[in-house]
Structure 1
Amino acid sequence: MVHRLQHQSDVASLRNGDPNFAGTLAKGMMILETFLRDPRPYANSELAQLLGLPRSTVSRLCRTLLQMGYLDRDERIDRYFIGPAAVALGYPYIVSIPLRAQARPMLQALADQVRGAASIGVAMGLDLVYVETCAYKRGTLARPDVGALRGVATTAMGRAWLYSLGDKARNAVLRQLKAERPDEMARCAAGIKESLELQARHGFAINFGDAGLGVQGVALASRLRQGTRELLFNCAVPGSQIDAKELVGRVGPRLVELVRQCERNAGIG
């Protein structure tokens, strides 16, 4: 299980349950993950308050991360922001997915057909990480870039992943979402339930706008894997240019055929 740490209490809880858990390393990573939630410059005092850590600890960790290139610092405002080493660290994972290059022409063709974006992602805890994305050549609000993080509850891709889980695992994730992201679940619970029911009939998950900006989407989990994680495919379209009937009747089946073609190309019949 992937743990997204947001406070010193999270670190203490895991360390109490596992004597081999490296608390100092976890605190350093927790600082970096702060920028995933809100990618803006932070002062030491802000990080200390947000994470429940002593300011001296934050200062020491930030200085270490700065020297290693994972953080940068703007001396004029005395604040830290994410550094280039954090970007470089993700590159080996991205390039280790050969399917990205093979699927890109099909993803681009679908994105242009629907004037939206077609993407591949993987689940990580309660979030999804986009590892490939192609957008309509004239631009679209629906485009998440490579490396973008989106919530499981709010996206068609997340709902496709939920559907792919067994009942026990799915219910465990839903309980975790309710406990850790109550606002998202209050807004998206009905949409998740509807999507799970519709996927049983149509073969793909649906999001009728819970992702925000009026964006609607369809998605499904493939039989293709990167390590232990299944690759998830998504197609998102601004709601201003498509209605629910067209999303279900036209876009969803096209995405299913794209995924099946990728599986056939990989030797999965």
Structure 2
Amino acid sequence: MTEEIETPENEPKDRKFVEALSRGLEVLRAFTHGNVTRGNQDIARITGLPKPTVSRLTYTLTQLGYLSYNQDVEKYQLDSGVLALGYAYVNNLRVRQLGKPLMDEFARRTNTTVGLTCRDRLSMIYVESCRPPDVASLRMEAGVRLPLSTTAAGRAYLAATPENERAHLIGEIAKKAGDEWPALEVSLNESFREYEEFGFCLSLGEWDRNVNAAGVPLRLADGSIMALTCGAPKFQLPTDTLQSSLAHQLVMLARDIESLGA
């Protein structure tokens, strides 16, 4: 199943909400995880929508240029209409335009990968990634999705999120984590304490056992929150170096980007 953020059952229905549009977007979201091609039956299973509804939606999205149909495998895949929307969003993102030169310099100076991420449901998505040339570092391209709960980016975002919203997101994370939740909750709470004391969150092998990373929330001029990260393989970025130096430098980088009026 794709990630879902549930709304409370007693919340009144929004009369302006267009259910058909919502379902069409859910069909597109079915392509954001796993295989790049999916049949109507696959999409129905992922979204929970009836197969006849899915068939009408995939036909419509194909006609509009957001999906294409592969005759050889008899399945759909994303088409250029989706790419155009994603490119327009990233290209016009002011914080990316202002912050990229500073991120490039930080990546070059520290030999780490520096990422700018935004939240989508229970994931963080890279909208920019800067890495030094000819250095063994993480290769994270724009569009890569990271889990909210175990990455430095996700934890930094959660730490800076208003209490009510954070509680709702953590509830969804707990449901998804199942039996793993008690240990994950301890780790998240430690990250939040870390943020209160130092202004950053760490992920020390919790997302990838070979990777150390730090994350800092980035508060934009419009009131929204993104997350700035730096990370590298553990052999290149020891925990002590990250905790005592680079994570603090990342906090300063975030403040510098915010000061530009992003």
Give the TM-score band, short-chain normalised: 0.7 to 0.9
Contact map agreement 2:58 2:67 (CA 8 A) in 1:
yes
1:220 deviation in Å? 1.0
Contact map agreement 1:121 1:233 (CA 8 A) in 2:
yes
User: Corresponding residue for 1:172?
Assistant: 168
Letter matched to residue 262 of structure 1: I
Contact map agreement 1:154 1:184 (CA 8 A) in 2:
no
Letter matched to residue 258 of structure 2: E
User: Corresponding residue for 1:93?
Assistant: 89
Gaps of 5+ in 2: none
Q: Between 238-247 and 171-180, report the one with greater CA deviation.
A: 171-180
User: Corresponding residue for 1:199?
Assistant: 195
1:173 deviation in Å? 2.1
Residue number among 7, 18, 21 corresponding to 1:22 in the alignment: 18
Residue 65 in structure 1 maps to residue 61 in structure 2: yes
User: Corresponding residue for 1:247?
Assistant: 242
Residue number among 215, 227, 232 corresponding to 1:219 in the alignment: 215
| Cα separation, 1, equivalents of 2:179 and 2:143 | 24
Deviation string for 1:76-127 (max 9, x for gaps)?
1111111111111122322222232332222122223333310112223322
Gaps of 5+ in 1: none
| Cα separation, 2, equivalents of 1:4 and 1:19 | 24
User: Corresponding residue for 2:178?
Assistant: 182
User: Corresponding residue for 1:129?
Assistant: 125
| Cα separation, 1, equivalents of 2:10 and 2:61 | 23
Alpha-carbon spacing, 1:101–1:169, altered in 2? closer, same or farther (3 Å): closer
User: Corresponding residue for 1:238?
Assistant: 233
Alpha-carbon spacing, 1:77–1:175, altered in 2? closer, same or farther (3 Å): same
Supply the RMSD in Å over aligned alpha carbons: 2.8
| Cα separation, 1, equivalents of 2:183 and 2:206 | 8
| Cα separation, 2, equivalents of 1:122 and 1:159 | 12
Tell me the number of residue pairs that the alignment of Structure 1 and Structure 2 aligns: 260
Query: Secondary structure of the residue that 1:36 maps to in structure 2?
Result: coil
**Percent of aligned pairs sharing the same letter:** 25
User: Corresponding residue for 1:266?
Assistant: 261
| Cα separation, 1, equivalents of 2:154 and 2:98 | 23
| Cα separation, 2, equivalents of 1:75 and 1:213 | 40
| Cα separation, 2, equivalents of 1:157 and 1:20 | 33
Alpha-carbon spacing, 1:39–1:136, altered in 2? closer, same or farther (3 Å): farther
| Cα separation, 2, equivalents of 1:150 and 1:14 | 31
Query: Secondary structure of the residue that 1:17 maps to in structure 2?
Result: coil
| Cα separation, 1, equivalents of 2:244 and 2:44 | 50
| Cα separation, 2, equivalents of 1:182 and 1:116 | 33
Contact map agreement 1:41 1:80 (CA 8 A) in 2:
yes
Q: Between 146-155 and 79-88, report the one with greater CA deviation.
A: 146-155
**TM (normalized to structure 2)?**
0.86
Equivalence map 1:37-76=2 (5 Å)? 37-76=33-72
More helix by share: 1
Letter matched to residue 254 of structure 1: Q
Query: Secondary structure of the residue that 2:195 maps to in structure 1?
Result: helix
Query: Secondary structure of the residue that 2:150 maps to in structure 1?
Result: coil
Contact map agreement 1:153 1:184 (CA 8 A) in 2:
no
User: Corresponding residue for 1:150?
Assistant: 146
Query: Secondary structure of the residue that 1:200 maps to in structure 2?
Result: helix
User: Corresponding residue for 1:113?
Assistant: 109
Alpha-carbon spacing, 1:71–1:97, altered in 2? closer, same or farther (3 Å): same
Alpha-carbon spacing, 1:175–1:76, altered in 2? closer, same or farther (3 Å): same
Q: Between 38-47 and 246-255, report the one with greater CA deviation.
A: 38-47
Q: Between 253-262 and 72-81, report the one with greater CA deviation.
A: 253-262
